[in-house]
Amino acid sequence: MALSVVILAAGQGKRMKSDLPKVLQPLAGRPLLKHVIDTARELHAHDIHVVYGHGGERVRESLASENVSWARQAEQHGTGHAVQQAMPGVPDDHLVLVLYGDVPLVQAATLQRLVDAAAGGEALAILSVRMQDPTGYGRIVRDRAGNVARIVEHKDANQKERAIDEVNTGLMAASARRMREWLGQLKNDNAQGEFYLTDVVVMAARAGLKVNAILAEREDEVLGVNDKVQLAEVEAVYRRRRAQELMLQGVTLVDPARFDARGPVVVGRDVYIDVNVVFEGSVRLGDRVRIGPNVVISDCEIADDAVIHANCVLDRATVGARAIVGPYARLRPDAVLHEDVHVGNFVEVKKSELRRGAKANHLTYLGDTTVGEKVNVGAGTITCNYDGVNKWRTEIGDGAFIGSGTMLVAPVKIGAGATIGAGSTITKDAPEGKLTLERSKQLTLEAWKRPVKQPKG
């Protein structure tokens, strides 16, 4: 039976106290709603419908690249009313799964159990969980035989019902045809004057349809986000989950609580990661890679036996086998370091290629540069790649030696085996195998005196 997913994402989120719509609040660098959409895709759904409302156009613009159908809920009249907005796009012969844009941690395996419990549309399946503090959640009310009879919202529950610790998460799966019929029969005679989606449980039970409550394994899997405190709690759960995944793959994390992976990570064997490391985007680490403390790595590939020392920032860079980076180095987009390259402290590399064995160990900027094999770049060297309008390339041949404090004014080529004298400003190509230097005449002015501060009048 084909599956249609409906994600409710129209809430205003007043408790966030933010101009950013609630479902766009960031979790691990991605909007809450993006997490839910990504999980829904793991179920191989036929289509995904997102019901939006508050800040709707901003939500749509932020997720414009997502292949989803959008349904607008112009006025918020409850969860039942929200689902109704999406139903015109859901065929009767589909199974419909209802998710929430502010419940981002539910696992695809749990959702698959929920879908399976709907028995191809012959049952209504709801996801429940037992909570130590169920305040604010709708309670699952069962009959004497243990069957689900109804769900009562917290505000409408009496004292006995509020003592129930099994609560409704709001996630459910059912036949689209039946769901459409039930939604058409909803009434808003409740404390909030809203059309509750949960009322379809009673309708299903009265129609003799089996209601299957599937318990989530962990309470933190179904945490909702309504304020910044809850957002931080969800972030902590997500961070802990990602750390556990990597440790089970053999990664050594010095302190799992001080590690943050915000995107897909592929790791080899015996990877070592120190404290306060952040991964963003897609990160791939080879065997025996070592990452020092306070490092940020975004969309990078780091090969076997490479070492990234403390306090480095790597963004869309490639690091070859046995390369050493840092401490305090910055690799910017399109930086490519080949095998055995050394990039040391306070070195910045942008859109440049350093070939096997090249070294730039301190205080250097390499931009739009090709550095040949076994080149040594001295401290304080700068490739002057920008003329105020255009960027120009510098090419340094294999085995060249660049003296400290050198300015290489692009476009310029340094030949293989060339030596550039320290303190030079090179504006013309330097021939291979020769010493090239450029220095003004050194003078000592015997009559010169250092200025002295004039006494105050």
SS3 of residue 263 by DSSP: coil
Residue 240 in domain: no
Residue 131 in domain: yes
The pLDDT value given to residue 11: 84
> Do 51 and 178 belong to one domain?
yes
Give the pairing type, strands 252-253 and 95-100.
unpaired
Q: Which of 125, 124, 129 is nearest to 206 (CA)?
A: 124
Confidence band of 412 (pLDDT split at 50, 70, 90): very high
> Do 280 and 419 belong to one domain?
yes
Q: Torsion over CA of 276, 280, 283 and 289, rounded to 10 degrees?
A: -10
CA 388 to chain centre: 35
Active site residue 362: yes
CATH number, domain with residue 254: 2.160.10.10
The pLDDT value given to residue 137: 87
> Do 75 and 210 belong to one domain?
yes
**Of all residues in the chain, what percent carry a pLDDT higher than 70?**
99
pTM of the model: 0.88
Cβ atoms within 10 Å of 457's Cβ, excluding its own: 3
Confidence band of 75 (pLDDT split at 50, 70, 90): confident
Please give the Cα distance from 417 to 239 (Å, whole number): 49
pLDDT digits 0-9 by tens, 183-206: 999 999 887 889 989 899 989 988
Residue 232 in domain: no
CA angle 298, 380, 442 (to 5 degrees): 165
Residue 134 in domain: yes
Q: Both tokens of residue 433?
A: 């195998």
**Of all residues in the chain, what percent carry a pLDDT higher than 90?**
86
Is 157's pLDDT higher than 80? Answer: yes
Beta strands in 286-367 (DSSP E): 290-291, 296-302, 307-308, 313-315, 318-319, 324-325, 330-331, 336-337, 342-350, 353-354, 359-367
Please give the Cα distance from 127 to 215 (Å, whole number): 6
Q: Which of 248, 83, 260 is nearest to 171 (CA)?
A: 83
Residue 180 in domain: yes
Is 76's pLDDT higher than 90? Answer: no
pLDDT digits 0-9 by tens, 305-336: 999 999 999 999 999 999 999 999 999 999 99
Residue 452 in domain: no
What would the mean pLDDT of 16-29 be, rounded to a whole number? 94
> Do 83 and 177 belong to one domain?
yes
Q: Both tokens of residue 357?
A: 């064995």
The pLDDT value given to residue 10: 92
Is there a contact between 263 and 280 (Cβ–Cβ < 8 Å)?
A: yes
Is 114's pLDDT higher than 90? Answer: yes
In terms of residue numbers, what domain contains 277? 245-436
> Do 101 and 195 belong to one domain?
yes
Is there a contact between 256 and 273 (Cβ–Cβ < 8 Å)?
A: no
Q: Which of 44, 151, 35, 147 is nearest to 99 (CA)?
A: 35
The pLDDT value given to residue 282: 97
Please give the Cα distance from 51 to 9 (Å, whole number): 5
Averaged confidence pLDDT in the chain: 95
Is 304's pLDDT higher than 80? Answer: yes
Task: List phi, psi (to 5°) of 261.
Answer: -105, 115
> Do 186 and 288 belong to one domain?
no
CATH number, domain with residue 160: 3.90.550.10
Residue with tokens 């941690």: 105
What would the mean pLDDT of 151-177 be, rounded to a whole number? 93
SS3 of residue 305 by DSSP: coil
Residue 454 in domain: no
> Do 273 and 203 belong to one domain?
no
> Do 64 and 151 belong to one domain?
yes
> Do 249 and 212 belong to one domain?
no
Residues 6+ apart with CB under 8 A from 305: 286, 287, 288, 289, 321, 322
The more confidently predicted of residues 32 and 208 is 32
Which segment, 52-56, 131-135, 146-150, 297-301, is predicted with the most confidence on average? Answer: 297-301
Q: Is the peptide bond before 327 cis (omega within 30 degrees of 0)?
A: yes
Give the count of domains, the chain: 2
> Do 426 and 348 belong to one domain?
yes
The pLDDT value given to residue 136: 85
> Do 287 and 370 belong to one domain?
yes
Is 386's pLDDT higher than 80? Answer: yes
Q: Both tokens of residue 353?
A: 């290629």
Residue 173 in domain: yes
Please give the Cα distance from 26 to 62 (Å, whole number): 12
DSSP for residue 410:
S
Residues 6+ apart with CB under 8 A from 29: 262, 263, 280
> Do 36 and 168 belong to one domain?
yes
Please give the Cα distance from 128 to 177 (Å, whole number): 23
CA torsion through residues 158, 163, 164, 169, sign: positive
Is 54's pLDDT higher than 80? Answer: no
What would the mean pLDDT of 111-140 be, rounded to a whole number? 93
Confidence band of 293 (pLDDT split at 50, 70, 90): very high
Please give the Cα distance from 413 to 386 (Å, whole number): 16
Is 98's pLDDT higher than 90? Answer: yes
Residues 6+ apart with CB under 8 A from 411: 392, 393, 394
Task: List phi, psi (to 5°) of 81.
Answer: -65, -35
> Which position among 49, 81, 94, 362 bears the catalytic label?
362
Q: Is the peptide bond before 411 cis (omega within 30 degrees of 0)?
A: yes
User: Residue type for 422, please?
Assistant: A
Is 457's pLDDT higher than 80? Answer: no
pLDDT digits 0-9 by tens, 200-242: 998 998 888 999 999 999 999 999 999 999 999 999 999 999 9
Q: Which of 150, 147, 169 is nearest to 36 (CA)?
A: 169
